[in-house]
Amino acid sequence: MNDELEINAPGVDAAAIVEEIRAAVERKRAEGAYADPCVARAERSNLTNLQNDDDFFDFYMSCLRQAFVVDINDFAIIERRARLGKLLVILKTTIWKLLKFYTYRLWTQQNQINGLLLSALESAEQKHRTRVQALEERIADLESKQQ
């Protein structure tokens, strides 16, 4: 432990812990641990990062790629009412099984729209990124010539 750490708080270094957390996250991300639609959903309120952090955009796009397909799997039907609760669950589950087939057309179309929007967003971002990079190189070139 160095002197600086001891001045702040002997025995614990929050910045070092955060660095360790980030290294662990990078490692797990490379292994695909966060390729999970629920991670993408969790980030939808964290868009403040988009304004402040270039890396976040890449992360968020990778989240969107995991999340743009609508989940059409069966889901747990919960009934909070104690009276007739079990009966209602059976009734709702039966209705869902009978009708879910008719939702497929809707979800297919929604998935297509989501996929197209995501592709458009990625293309636009790539286009702007290339353009900004070219402009920055041009500015640097002009500045070096001026000097």
Partner 1 sequence: MEEAKHIAFVVPRLADGSVVGGAETLLRNLAERAARNGCRVTVLATCATNHYTWANELKPGRRTVGDLEVELFPVDDDRDIETFLAVQNRISAGAKVSREEEQAWLRNNVNSRALCAHLAEAGDQYDVMVTGPYLFGLVYHAAQVHPRKTLLVPCLHDEPFALLTAFQEMFTSVRGFMFNTEPERRLAERLYGPPSADQVASVVGMGLDDFTVDPEAFAARRGISSPYLVYSGRREPLKGTPILVEYLEAFRIRNEVDLKLVLTGSGEFPLPPALVDHIIDVGFVNATEKLEAMAGALAFCHPSVNESLGIVLLEAWLAGTPGIVHAHGEVLRYQCESSNGGLWFKTYPEFEEAVLLLLNSPDTRRALGQAGRDYVLREYAWDTVEKRLIDSLNRAAQTSDA
By CB under 8 A, name the binding residues for partner 1: 8-9, 11-15, 17-18, 21-22, 24-25, 28-29, 33-34, 36, 38-39, 41-46, 48-49, 52-53, 56, 59, 78
Separation CA 37–CA 50 (nearest Å): 19
Identity of the residue, 25 or 139, whose beta carbon is nearer to partner 1 in the bound complex: 25
DSSP state of 82: S
Identity of the residue, 31 or 143, whose beta carbon is nearer to partner 1 in the bound complex: 31
What CA–CA distances, in Å, run from 70 to 47, 74, 85, 104, 134?
Answer: 21, 12, 28, 10, 37
Separation CA 130–CA 20 (nearest Å): 33
Asked whether 64 and 117 are in contact (CB, 8 A), the reply is: no
Separation CA 37–CA 19 (nearest Å): 25
